[in-house]
A and B are shown apart, each in its own frame.
Chain A
Amino acid sequence: MFSCTSGIITALLLCSITCFAQDNSKAISAVDFSARDINGKKVQLKKLLIDGPVLLDFWALWCVPCLKEMPELKKIARKYQESGLTIVAVNQDSPSDQSKVKPFVKQKRFNFVVILDEDKDLWDQFNVNALPTSILIDQTGHVVYTHVGYKPGDQAGIIAALEKLFSRKNEKPENGD
């Protein structure tokens, strides 16, 4: 009885969400977070968003597609640095591999903020279920692009989302006039 009732409620909830999803184009609010980076410093999403959009990239050292994606993210970070983009690499390695993260990132000269998601708080908060996952958050704190996995060429999706975001930002003052 319990499972039947809960099942019907869940099914109704699912259907209602998808129906509403057709009509509403507003992006999901990204809940603010604060976490420590690999140097022990506190990083807060709200503060990073003052400078520009934030791209969260969930990755691990054992994840081959993640390691293939990161050099492309490095190029993206360099390209959009002046536009205020910050890339936050959210590491998901196990305790055993945690001490390898900083040496790896430094010697590859990745220009990202690197966070150790020790208690999977961000994994949970952003509903991640596979690596790598890229989530682009605009300056109003809304998720505007999500991509799971990586194949060569997938970085074009991130670039397109960023271009769209920056062109919208540039259009706004004109519309305001």
Chain B
Amino acid sequence: MAIKKLNFLSAGFKVQVAALVAFACLARTPDAAFAQIGPGTPYLLNRWVSSVEPLFAETDREINNWLDVGYKYSYWRAGLRMEFHDPRNPDVYNDKITQRYVMFKKDWLRIRAGNFYERLGRGLVFHAFEIQSQTLNRTDKNVAIDRNIDGGNIKLSFDNVDVTGIWGRPLKMFSSDRGYALGGGEVRFRPFSALLLGGTFLRFSDDFLPDVAGLERKIDLELSSLQVGLNLGSIDLYTEISQKKSTDEPAIPNGNAVYAAASYSGDSFGLSAEFKRYEEFNTDFNNPPALVKTHSFALLNRHTHSLNPKDEIGYQFESYFSPNPGATFTLHASGADNLENDERQRFREYFFESRNEWGEQAISRVLIDYSKDRGLGDLNRWTLASEVDYLLNDRNSLIFDAQLQNIDNENNVDGKYWNMLGLLAFSRSPFMTLSARYEHTTKTRSEKSTKSNWFSGTLNLKVGQHHDIILTAGSRPGGLVCSGGICFQVPEFEGVELRWNARL
């Protein structure tokens, strides 16, 4: 078995070791006794993920660390992020400062130079975001989803008007490439509290995109949107229409998009309805709203719909009903039709969830879901999921989680198959959670992975207010993971993983 040696002598690794020693010192700091140095205050955030996977010979061991450090003084704030990843890949972040910024913020004014995240409107035109600490692909080393912009932004926030200006170069999806330059902004005007009028304009330039003949050419994309929002107390309405204009038609066609939302908020009943329509609205620097439910049950999140902004129309309805404070019922329906490889794909999902409190001691959640997604080849998909929290006393509790899924998939050799998941966890507040998780599938496995059973144990320790340590040993299946409305593939894992989050 080939074992890859870690780069222990690199400067980055030494920094991470220094960080760990420093954070270990911090563990001795009494709770709520944070530092204040001189006239300002420092801040620290460190995320360490290391793993050993003896069965995966191509990587065997790896370490990923993100260190954010900064200082606040009066209205000023400055900071940087240093990343260390081993094994290395020259195409993505390694052992270097990947973000730095300086910011001034006072009352109605905020100016920031350096790296930043931003969202305009409901994200139809642009949404720069980060999903932390997810290892996406073992061999490509694309760790975490980071779409920060390197440039600057300015925000003016008055009583009735908010103005945002941004410029810089965003990271492309799953890449360290900052090919595009962008500039533009947004104005949101509230003539009175119930009405919102907004407009967004962004211009993207790709200076170095070679065409088919190998010649470099400049491509400009202009994205603009108009927003109207109405807040009538218990009823809220919002519409955003957007268009994409390209200087390189028909290679990059013009496009348009519509997003509309309506909601009713009552004392024991709430309802939201959303609509989306995308035509040729795909770019490689934005993920517009997908209108797909981000589930909290793992099996449902692993089989979810992927938005195709090139051509998709869809809707989502969700209603909540609480007949008493201890019970909540949720009804959901969503659907989308899109064109993938000249073939119409249809996605539908319906679910009912019941959450009940049983006195002071138990809380249960039961969900039944039916869905079908031709994009994944799922003709029928039924899921039954339940979770029970049982309080043993003021500090100790148990969690039982059981999920069962039946899928009729046209791409699977045997057609129908079952997925199962069971989890048992014991928590002792505020220090510890110990859990055991088992997963099983009857799906015909590929040559790459022949496993059909996965078992893992996790110990989650909290040390003071500053440290969270999560130790996992065993195996877990790969597949989709959704977080904050964004879904991505994670690889199968078998080994030991240590996560250490420290925060000051």
A interface vs B, CB < 8 Å?
Answer: 2-4, 6-8, 10-11, 13-22, 24-29, 31, 34, 39-42, 60-64, 68, 71, 92-100, 102-109, 118-121, 124, 127, 129-130, 143-149, 151-154, 156-157, 161
Contacts and interface: CB of A to CB of B under 8 A. Distances in A.
Contact of A156 (B41, B328, B429, B483): B429
B325 interface: yes
Interface in B275-312: 289-292, 294-296
Contacts of A130: 468, 501
B238 A99 contact: yes
A76 to B, nearest CB: 15
Interface string B255-286: 00000011111111111101000000000000
Contact of A96 (B132, B267, B289, B462): B289
Interface in B445-504: 462, 465, 468, 482-486, 501, 503-504
A85 B56 CA distance: 53
Contacts of A146: 32, 465, 503
8 contacts: A2-B96, A11-B18, A18-B29, A21-B34, A24-B36, A29-B41, A40-B229, A103-B264
Given A107-B266, A127-B68, A152-B389, 18 more contacts: A6-B97, A10-B80, A15-B22, A24-B35, A28-B41, A29-B41, A31-B77, A34-B107, A40-B229, A94-B485, A96-B316, A99-B262, A106-B267, A129-B132, A145-B31, A148-B503, A154-B430, A156-B430
Nearest to A151: B427
Contacts of A108: 320, 322, 328
Nearest to B398: A152
Interface in B404-449: 427-430, 433
Contact of A153 (B77, B394, B482): B394
B397 A40 contact: no
A153 B265 contact: no
Contacts of B339: none
Contacts of A39: 193, 231
Nearest to B31: A145
B197 interface: no
A94 B318 contact: no
B272 A103 contact: yes
Contacts of B292: 96
B468 A95 contact: no
In the complex, which range does the number of interface residues on chain B fall in? 35 or more
Contact of A99 (B72, B80, B236): B236
Nearest to A133: B503
A120 B468 contact: no
Interface of B: 10-12, 14-15, 18-19, 21-23, 25-26, 28-37, 41-45, 47, 67-69, 72, 77, 80, 82, 95-97, 105, 107, 110, 117-119, 121-124, 127, 129, 132, 157, 159, 164, 190, 193-194, 196, 229, 231, 234, 236, 238, 261-272, 274, 289-292, 294-296, 316, 318-322, 325, 328, 357, 363, 387, 389, 391, 394-397, 427-430, 433, 462, 465, 468, 482-486, 501, 503-504
A162 to B, nearest CB: 12
B429 A93 contact: no
Contact of B36 (A29, A118, A127): A29
A161 B465 CA distance: 12
Contacts of A154: 429-430
Contact of B318 (A100, A143, A145): A100
A78 B43 CA distance: 32
For A8, A14, A161, which residue has the most chain B Cβ atoms within 10 angstroms?
A: A14
A10 B274 CA distance: 47
Contact of A62 (B296, B328, B465, B468): B296
Given A41-B193, A97-B294, A127-B43, A62 B484 contact: yes
A19 B42 CA distance: 12
Contacts of B289: 94-96
Contacts of B468: 130, 148-149
Nearest to A66: B296
Nearest to A107: B270
Contact of A21 (B35, B159, B194): B35
Given A103-B263, A129-B47, A14 B18 contact: yes
B325 A109 contact: yes
B238 A3 contact: no
Nearest to A129: B45
A28 B122 contact: no
Contacts of B236: 99, 102
For B322, B389, B433, B484, which residue has the most chain A Cβ atoms within 10 angstroms?
A: B484
B190 A40 contact: yes
B36 A28 contact: yes
For A7, A16, A146, which residue has the most chain B Cβ atoms within 10 angstroms?
A: A7
Given A39-B231, A103-B265, A152 B35 contact: no
Contacts of B157: 34
A160 to B, nearest CB: 10
A144 B328 CA distance: 34
B25 A42 contact: no
B25 A127 contact: no
Contact of B270 (A6, A103, A151): A103
Contacts of A97: 294, 485
Closest 4 CB pairs of A and B: A103-B270, A94-B485, A153-B429, A11-B18
A147 B465 contact: yes
A11 to B, nearest CB: 3
Contact of A102 (B105, B119, B121, B263): B263
B22 A152 contact: no
Contact of A7 (B12, B164, B429): B12
For B122, B159, B387, which residue has the most chain A Cβ atoms within 10 angstroms?
A: B122
Given A14-B69, A17-B35, A107-B269, A22 B29 contact: yes
A18 B26 contact: yes
